């Protein structure tokens, strides 16, 4: 997500005020990549591999998040193939733990220790519970998520999959692949599903 935003920002600044061909954009992308690789230095757990875009990220960058329909379908199918549901069949954990994860923005920075659980930073993009005083609007509001959609096993599965790898549903989504990337553990995702789906969760009040 952050890589695509950085690339898009650099390229947008470069082409501002004029129209760019695909060749121009590829040249600007190459310059942006070279600049970022020059200025970014590995430190702690923030290593240089974070600068490498996989096929999906590179494609979304190339097409400015709007690849051709056939390419989009292929990428989403590839991402769906990465989906791993819990072996025990249980999709919900503890909503109170899920609330803490959703409200935590900690993790994945150079000074975080390896193996320390990360937060979900959900509040940065979504409105969740009525007591929130500040929240982002990049993503849709999730207020009353379960109450509006129904507390069904199918909706639990959808919520789990969407958190695990949202790009299986929208390839160029700005939402991170929390499970597929290993940012959040299976247990953490279960807790977030409970935060969204438990009738007693403040999300559904």
For the chain, give every domain's residue range. 2-80, 95-204
Give tens-digit pLDDT for 91-139: 999 999 999 999 999 888 888 888 889 999 999 999 999 999 899 999 9
pLDDT at 142 over 90: yes
Closest alpha carbon to 103 in 130, 82, 128, 71:
128
Going from the C-alpha of 40 to that of each of 2, 34, 49, 60, the distances in angstroms are: 14, 10, 11, 22
- Indicate whether 162 pLDDT > 50: yes
pLDDT digits (tens, 9 = 90+) for 183-202: 999 999 999 999 999 999 99
Query: Global pTM?
Result: 0.85
Mean pLDDT over residues 47-69, rounded? Answer: 93
Q: How far apart are the first and last CA of the chain?
A: 31
Share of the chain above pLDDT 90, in %: 71
pLDDT above 50 (res 204)? yes
Q: What stretches of the chain show up as alpha helix (H) in DSSP?
A: 2-15, 22-39, 55-62, 69-80, 95-102, 145-149, 153-164, 186-197
Buried b (16+ CB within 10 A) or exposed e, 146-167: beeeeeeeebbebbbbbbbbbb
Please report the pLDDT score of residue 68 as a whole number.
97
pLDDT of residue 17: 47
CATH 3.40.50.300 given to domain 95-204: no
Q: What is the pLDDT of residue 4?
A: 52
pLDDT over 70, % of the chain: 90
């Amino acid at each position: 997500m952050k890589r695509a935003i950085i690339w898009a920002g650099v390229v947008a600044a470069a082409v501002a005020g004029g129209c760019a061909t695909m060749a121009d954009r590829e040249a600007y992308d190459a310059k942006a990549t070279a600049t970022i690789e020059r200025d970014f230095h590995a430190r702690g757990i923030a290593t240089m591999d974070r600068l490498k875009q996989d096929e999906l990220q590179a494609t979304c960058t190339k097409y400015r998040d709007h690849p051709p329909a056939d390419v989009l379908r292929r990428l989403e199918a590839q991402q769906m193939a990465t989906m791993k549901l819990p072996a025990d069949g249980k999709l919900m954990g503890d909503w109170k733990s899920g609330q803490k994860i959703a409200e935590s923005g900690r993790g994945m920075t150079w000074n975080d220790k390896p193996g320390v659980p990360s937060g979900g930073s959900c509040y940065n993009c979504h409105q969740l519970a009525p007591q929130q005083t500040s929240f982002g609007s990049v993503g849709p509001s999730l207020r009353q998520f379960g109450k509006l959609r129904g507390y069904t096993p199918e909706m639990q599965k959808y919520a789990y999959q969407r958190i695990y790898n949202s790009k299986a549903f929208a390839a160029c989504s700005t939402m991170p692949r929390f499970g597929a990337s290993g940012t959040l553990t299976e247990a953490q995702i279960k807790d977030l599903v409970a935060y969204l789906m438990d009738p007693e969760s403040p999300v559904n009040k």
